[in-house]
A = this chain, B = another copy of it.
């Protein structure tokens, strides 16, 4: 599994052939078939493992915060930290999510897609809505705001690959400040 993740992150999904994965693992291609019926099953397993690890990390990081604004800050910081400390896993996840399609180009992750978005976008939107209801946040479209926050977080991955000198802590601080300004009812 580790070598599969590494291979996908390194050379992309469609170049991460069974032979390539086996080579990295120091085993033969046929040994993989003993444990996985097809290549698809392997990929699905990688996806399951990576998403599960991510969920566990986030669960461990989500301490109880007192206000929606604090929750939003914690959400951004935890996500940025996770991406920074699990670059390979995140890269593999993105590679699979973007390229695991059938002949018609449709995603093969539709059931999972919902859960992936559900696990990341829904709780975020929930934080925003509670913040508005409690009067801490100004009025805005919670869906657009949630999408923008996630997009800003997910943009880290490609940037990490493109430019090596990205200051993650600084980036997280900037994001927290940015979206605090965008959501806050009154200027701090």
Interchain CB contact under 8 A, B11 and A104: yes
Which residue from chain B places its CB closest to the CB of A11 in the assembled complex?
A: B105
Known: A10-B105, A105-B10. A151 touches B155 (CB 8 A): yes
Interface size on A, residues (CB 8 A): 37
Q: How far is the CA of A99 from the CA of B181 in the complex (A)?
A: 36
Of the residues B151, B159, B170, B187, contact of A187 by C-beta under 8 Å = B187
Of the residues B98, B148, B162, B178, contact of A144 by C-beta under 8 Å = B178
Interchain CB contact under 8 A, A144 and B11: no
Interchain CB contact under 8 A, B175 and A148: yes
Main secondary structure on chain A at its contact with chain B? helix
Q: Is A2 an interface residue (CB 8 A)?
A: no
Which residue from chain B places its CB closest to the CB of A142 in the assembled complex?
A: B174
Q: Is A154 an interface residue (CB 8 A)?
A: yes
Which residues in window 83-105 of A have CB below 8 A to B?
98-99, 101, 103-105
Of the residues B11, B12, B151, contact of A154 by C-beta under 8 Å = B151
In the assembled complex, which residues on chain B have CB atoms less than 8 Å from the CB atom of A74?
none
Q: How far is the CA of A150 from the CA of B148 in the complex (A)?
A: 10
Known: A11-B104, A105-B11, A155-B150. A141 touches B174 (CB 8 A): yes
